[in-house]
A and B are shown apart, each in its own frame.
Chain A
Amino acid sequence: MRPTTKGVFPAVLTETFADEATQPFWDAALDNRLGAPKCTKCGTFRIPLTPFCFNCQTREIEWIQLPGTGSVYSFTIVRHPLSPGLQLAVPCASGIVELDGTQGSGARMIVNIIECDVDALRIGDKVEIVFEHLAESESKMSVPRFRPIRQK
């Protein structure tokens, strides 16, 4: 396991294992953009992409660039490290983010929420995406995480 800092869950999967369907997401991630597949017929977003739209059973999709902001739908603070290698990472926030520009359910992202006060994080908090570009990754993986949007 790679060295880590408090609150940052070290990526355990360092390759994307992408296929044709998911590659556009990872290509955009390398470029610090959040790409999301949208049903061309009914407009439903689904992340990750599945072979059929769960709303209208259509296959065709188009890739849309989302703003990369959203809100915390729910979360947990992991306090107990399941592996000795996670000792440095805990406490660590993980949860579900609903993305601005989508319909919510069906397109939520399940992510590590970093740079937050684990005792102050709340459902509904506004967050933004941030990509960690893994240097050692042969497939050039960029891991998406979210962090609170600071008051400007």
Chain B
Amino acid sequence: MTIKDQAAIVGVGVTPYWKRGQSYPESELSMACTAILAALDDAGLSVSDLDGFAIYSNSCDPAEVASVLGVPEVRFAATTTSGGGGCAGALGLAAAAIHGGMATCCVTLMTLQQLNKRLGGSEVGGLLAYATTSESASPYGGNGISPNAAFTANSGLLSPGHSFSVLTQRHMHLYGTKREHFAEVAISQRENALKRPTTAIRNTPLTLDDYFNARMISDPLCLFDYTLETDGAVAVITVSAERAKDLKQQPVYIMASAHGGTGRWGPAIFRYFQAPDDEFASSGHRPVAKRLYEMAGITAADVDVALPYDHFSPMVIMQLEDYGFCPIGEGGPFVAEGNIRYGTGSIPVNTHGGKLSEAYIIGMTHVKEAVEQIRGTAINQVEGAEIALVTGGPASLPVSGTLLRK
């Protein structure tokens, strides 16, 4: 007994996307509520139907949101641990809650406003903030700075971008992956974003010259390999497959969902970098992908459109490998051959533009696009799309993947 095809996404809601910090005077709470109400409305449901919060990265406080919106009774409130890696996995959490009889109507969401904070460490949060992030998950804050922080804090790696640069360098060393390959990810996603009115910042075409003339942030990554930083909220509503049939939208079934990773991947990217050699230069998704396809009973060849988490362009390439679209180490040439292009490629990737060129809402824009592709309403609609892959991470464990189907 698995959650396969037992639940469906029936509603999507979204706020506008703003450049980082420009959503004020909205707040993370107000944007969360706006997106939830819009998602319920899209489904033909109301606040009185909502009874579950299946979230990731503690994206909102269900106590606060339920109180503000007047949710009659909350029956399920849980988050996947760690950060953005749990994004796609939270849909599985919703399906599990519904299939297990704990809730009937779950919201999964992200709301993000970077006004007084900036994800990933910088002068805004103080250089120490990222460097000394405690490995203790205690709500009481542990004992402040942990004894092990001193082993990494002075390394000079201050942000996720720095960390993923190190990971990328190893992939280039092992497999001959090139900056031209990262450029193809950035350029193809930009092209997808250009047709969309929702593109927050990067709304002009990107050429190979533009890419190579951009400033390097941390070798081998340049400006266009890095995600945008934006504000906004996206919410989706999940109910049982049975109930979905009677609602406003065509149901988008959660075909399979998995999250996790090997123990030694752990918080690898962010603090320890101690993953075994055969896993280091990867997205960490391999074991998750295996379980995901097993649950769904399909292979990568059956996937019509892929929405991989793209905070940094090389991570798209590593996920294409780990999800079996090409052999390990061949992701670079695979994208260079045009395989991820919308309209002509064998597996269209991030048809909405992704974080690199549309907006960064920690993965939820990818969930929204996956739903629209299966509904058949996407702006860059993949003709005949029946199965979509959406992922969360690479990041600290858990990373996650979900398959949605018509």
Contact = CB atoms under 8 A, between A and B. Distances in A.
Contacts of B147: 16-19, 21-22, 48
Looking at A26, A84, A111, A141, the one whose CB has the most chain B CB atoms below 10 A away is A111
Interface string B132-166: 10000000000011111111111111110010011
Given A12-B127, A123-B170, A80 B218 contact: yes
Nearest to B157: A94
B167 to A, nearest CB: 7
B209 interface: no
Contacts of A50: 148
Nearest to A79: B216
A13 B277 contact: no
Contacts of A22: 147-148, 150-151
Interface stretch (B233-241, B268-276, B286-294): B268-276
A82 B149 contact: no
Interface in A100-116: 104-112
A110 B215 contact: no
B219 interface: yes
B121 interface: yes
Contacts of B384: none
**Contact-residue bracket for chain A:** 35 or more
Contacts of B218: 76-80
B219 A73 contact: no
A143 B229 CA distance: 33
B117 to A, nearest CB: 14
Contact of B123 (A21, A73, A83): A83
B216 A9 contact: no
Given A22-B148, A94-B157, A74 B123 contact: no
Given A78-B218, A83-B122, A112 B156 contact: yes
A57 to B, nearest CB: 12
B100 interface: no
A110 B221 CA distance: 19
Given A78-B218, A112-B155, A12 B128 contact: yes
Contacts of A94: 155-157, 162, 166
B154 A105 contact: no
Q: Is the interface of A mostly helix, strand, loop or mixed?
A: loop
Contacts of B162: 76, 78, 94
B131 interface: yes
Nearest to A121: B219
Contact of B155 (A9, A21, A73): A9
B264 interface: yes
B151 A74 contact: no
Interface residues of B, number: 47
Given A13-B154, A77-B218, A105 B274 contact: yes
Contacts, number: 136
A123 B171 CA distance: 11
B263 interface: yes
A17 B151 contact: no
A77 B169 CA distance: 10
A20 B167 CA distance: 32
B155 A76 contact: no
B103 to A, nearest CB: 36
B151 A96 contact: no
Nearest to B132: A13
A74 B167 contact: yes
A124 to B, nearest CB: 8
Contacts of A105: 264, 274-277, 280
Contact of B128 (A13, A48, A76, A89): A13
B115 interface: no
Nearest to B148: A48
Contacts of A48: 147-148, 151-152
A43 interface: no
Looking at B147, B166, B264, B277, the one whose CB has the most chain A CB atoms below 10 A away is B147
B148 A13 contact: no
Nearest to A113: B156
Contacts of A68: none
A14 B232 CA distance: 37
Nearest to B216: A79
A-B residue pairs, 3 tightest by C-beta: A9-B156, A76-B165, A94-B156
30 contacts: A1-B127, A9-B155, A13-B131, A17-B150, A18-B150, A47-B151, A48-B147, A48-B148, A48-B151, A50-B148, A74-B169, A75-B169, A76-B157, A77-B216, A78-B217, A82-B159, A83-B123, A89-B156, A92-B156, A94-B155, A94-B157, A96-B166, A105-B276, A108-B274, A110-B151, A110-B157, A110-B271, A112-B154, A112-B156, A123-B170
Given A93-B156, A94-B162, A110-B271, 4 more contacts: A13-B154, A17-B149, A80-B215, A141-B150
